[in-house]
Every structure is written in C-alpha cells, then in structure tokens.
Amino acid sequence: MRRKLSFYNKLLIFFVLVGVIPLLIIGSMTYGFSKRFFLEQYRQQLHDKVAGAAERFDALAEEYDGIMNTIGELPEVRQALLGGNAELKKNVEQRMHLLLAGKKNKAAIYLINADGSARYSTRELPSIYNPVKYRGWGIFRTAHEAEGEIRAYPHAYESLQGDKVVLSLVQTVHSASGELLGYLIVDFPRSLIADIVSAYDAPFAMDFVVLDGHAYTVIHTKQPEREGTLERDPAEIGSGDLLQVVASKKLGLSVYGYSPGAIVEQSMGFIQTLFAVAAAVSFVICLWCAYKLSKYVSKPIFELAHSMKRISMGDLAVRIESRRVDEFGIVASGFNAMATQIKDLIASAKDEQRRLRIAEIKALQAQLNPHFIYNTLDLIKWNAKMNQTKEIGGIVVQLARLLRGMIHVDDEETTLGAEMELIEHYLYIQRIRFADRLSMEIRIDEEALDATIPRLLLHPLVENAIVHGFENKVGNVDLSIVCRRSGDELEVEIKDNGIGMSEETLAAIRGGTHQGGIGINNVHNRIRLYYGEAYGLDIDSESGVGTRISLRIPYRRKEETA
C-alpha cells in the first residue's frame, strides 16, 4: 500500500520545489553566461599578451633597423670595409658600442667585408660568419636574396661567449656605385627573445612558441629542446588549450601563445560557490517556512516519534514534557508511564544478571582456593621431610601473605601490580623447592602495572606452569612472564619449557572437555564472563618442549572501572 505523506512533508516539499527550481534555472543561466563571459575575457587577455609580444618584436626590429642603417651609412664604415688601419677599426667599433649603450640585453653586431679580410664587431666573430666559405648558404644567402634590405634569419648556435643565439638580422652593405662591400649582422641571444615573449603580467600561466615562415622554431618556452627544429604541424601547437596567434610583420615571425583551458574552469569556481550558497540559503528558508507553518500540528507527533526512537536506542530517561490536555496530552502521559515501567524492568533484569554473574565468579574462586592451598601444603611437607627449617619459615611467611591476599578481598578486581605481588610470594616458595634449577624472567611494562584485572587471573596459570609443567621435568626449568600494553588492550604471555602436553590433551583443553584440572578452564571462563566471548586464552604446547599461554583483555585502569 502506498504510504501517504504527512501534512508537514507536503508543505516542506512544496516550499523546497518553489525555492529550488527557480534557483536552479536562474543559476544555470547565470553560470552559462558567466562562463562565456569569462572565456571571452580570457581569450581577449590572451590575445592582448600575444599581440604585445608581436609588437615588441616589431619594436625590436625597428630599433635595430635604425642602428643597422646608421652603421651602414657611416662613411668610415664604407672606408673600413675597403680596408683600414687600426685607428679606423677602433673608431668603427666604438661607434657600434655607443649605439648599443643603455640597452639591457645587448645584441652583438658584426661588420664583415666581402672577402672576410676585414672584421669589426662588438664581440668575437663566430666561425660560421665566413662570407667566402658560406657565401651561397645560410645567413649570407638570405642577405643576397634582398640586397640592401634588412632580413631576419632564425638559426641556433652557441656563441663564443657561451650564450645561445636564436635570431639574427642581416644586411648587405654597398658602395655608392652599388658594389658589394660587406655584410652587417646583428645576433640576438635567446635571453633577449625570451624576455620579449615573457614580458607580461597576465594573471594566468602562458607558454609561447615563435616560428618563422618555414615553421622553424625560434623559441619554445615550454619545451626549449625543440628550438632550432621544424614544427611538423603548427596547428597542433597548444592542442587542447586556448591559443592565440599574432604575426610580427617586420620580422616575418608568428607568435603563438597558449594557456590551459582548465584555468577558465577554475575561474568558474566562484560562480559555482555562489550558486551553492544561494541554493543552501534558499533551502534553509524553505525548511524554516515549512516548520513555522506546520509546527503546531507536527511538533507533538515529532516529539513522540523522536522519544520513541531514543528509547529504542537505550535512552530510558527520555520523557515528553507536555502541558496539553487534549488527546496528545493523554498519549504523552501514557508514553511517560510506559518508559518508567520499561526502565524499572530493565534495571531489575540487569541487577539479576549481575548477581548471577557474581555467584558464578564466586563459585570459580571457591574451586580455585582449595586447589592452590593443597599444592602449597604439599610443598611444605616435602621441605619438612628434608628438615629445612629456614626454608619452611620462609614458605610459611609467603603462604600467609598469599592467603591474606586471597581471603581478605574487598572487591573482585585488582591491579596487575597487586596480582604480580601475589605471584612473587608464590614464586618465592617455588624457588626454594626447585633450588638452582628454576630460572625466571619477568618483564612488565611500567604503564601496565595499574591495569585492572579480575583477582587471581594469572596466578593459576603460573601455578599450572610450575606444578604440571615442571613436576616431572628433569634438569633446569625456565619460566617467562611478559605483560605489556598494546593500544587499548593488555597482553600477557606465560611460557615454560616443561614437559608440555600431547595433542589429545591440548585439544581437550581447547575444547573445554579436559578433566585433569581447573586452572586453565577457570581462567578462560572468568575472562569470558568479565569481557565477553571475544576474549580468552590462547594455548600452544608441544610434548617434551614446553607450553605457551597468552591472553588478551581490554586495558582498563582503576578509575575507568569505578
């Protein structure tokens, strides 16, 4: 059968729909418009930065066009190319240096006559600038293709000064009669070209690629290793990213600038956050309106349902406070009476269970005490037969302390430290019995000493190790007791090199069917009574080798169990 919605739920759904649906429509439209707006602005900024780089290339070309034309028109330069002395060489090079003065990234200028015999430069001339050897190749070929005009020549080589040259300007110099006198070359280092393309203040990451008309890579800011190579497919540059291309007309270069498209998506985060906040506020307002309109009718029902849920979760102290005298007031009074009865019944049942548990533990302790006293008195008997009066006195004193610790009990729990004191009394007696044959190792973590455990939990295990493990053992016997805290648990291991147990005996003890003693089963049952089925003893034994008994219980301190 279809479940009917309550009046409160109907109001809530109505206001949620009225508030959220328009918000979703308006928000979606706003988000789409904002995304397109941001994308357009982003592309415009990207284009402006790329265009700015292209303009700086043009400005660089104009600047050095002026320098090269000035140098080429100097009479002493033409005279120097025809042949000159050292004084003339010095004057020409000084004029070249003066034209470069004040520039941050200075280019190198080289003036070479047609046969390469006269050279004037601001730096040491590279070997590749040999007009006789390379007249029909490279930069000299480019110079002759436009006699007298300045041309850009992209190439890549390492200068003698150690910097990388990626672009040069070249021009032929002629006499008044048109005769070729020489060549004027300007080299631009990569650092200067990199400054041109990176001189921007965009608030987003950008990378640049500069190509000439033959798709030769002049500079690649993201992958410098591709500089000096041909770009196979310029259309693939910045694939998947936002890309703008602007040409430098004076140098014949194309400037590619691209930026990750994901940046735009990041910019939309603000709009998305604004939309989410607006939706959340609208949703809260809808809930508030629905609550105000339906509170009078729905509040009593909600209180009843909430109180019943708390009772189902174990909170028996819950009560409904109501001053109403209508039908709901009767229901609230009946609910409170029912909660009181349930609380009383559960308290009575818990008290009965606690008494039963205490009776079972008392019965286990009553079984344990005669068993231990018998073993101790048997030890005294054997020492008396050997007329060892001093040892008997020590045994009696330790036995008295043991009995006092076991009989005068104010509660059922003790600390690990107090339990170990009783075990020390017991081991004192056993040292006398075994003389030099008994070796003991006791290691207890300092923080484990104040752990709360059931009284007489470890003593039966130690007694079993000595009485049943060492009774028929020939030679030296070793006993190890290790107690440590591991997180929220206390771990204890008692290990001996006694006679061990056969597989049948071990299986019977693990199954709880062994009838040869009460110590191990006693401890195992008590651990489960105190802490539940998840805890207990773990026993490993091999006949003729020894036995290892380990137990794991929750770590609790005295104040935690009070």
pLDDT digits (tens, 9 = 90+) for 68-120: 888 888 888 888 888 767 788 888 888 888 888 877 667 889 988 888 877 88
What φ, ψ does residue 320 adopt, rounded to 5°? -95, 120
* Cα distances (angstroms) measured from residue 498 to each of 296, 433, 470: 78, 16, 5
Cβ atoms within 10 Å, residue 231 = 19
The answer to whether the CB of 211 falls within 8 A of the CB of 218 is yes
**Secondary structure E strands in 159-290:** 164-174, 180-189, 207-211, 217-220, 242-248, 253-259
Overall average pLDDT of the 4-27 stretch: 69
- How far apart CA 271 and CA 395 sit, in angstroms, is 86
Q: Report pLDDT for 8.
A: 64
CA dihedral 211, 217, 219, 224 (to 10 degrees): 150
Residue 345: both structure tokens together: 């019944």
| H or E segment and range at residue 504 | helix 503-511
Overall average pLDDT of the 375-379 stretch: 68
The answer to whether the CB of 207 falls within 8 A of the CB of 252 is no
What domains, with CATH codes, occur in the chain? 316-365 (no CATH), 370-554 (3.30.565.10)
The answer to whether the CB of 112 falls within 8 A of the CB of 183 is yes
Q: Report pLDDT for 1.
A: 46
pLDDT digits (tens, 9 = 90+) for 518-544: 568 878 888 888 888 889 899 998 888
pTM of the model: 0.47
For the stretch 526-534, contacts whose Cβ atoms lie closer than 8 Å and that sit 24 or more positions apart, written own/partner, are: 526/361, 526/364, 526/454, 526/457, 527/454, 527/457, 527/551, 527/553, 529/357, 529/360, 529/361, 530/454
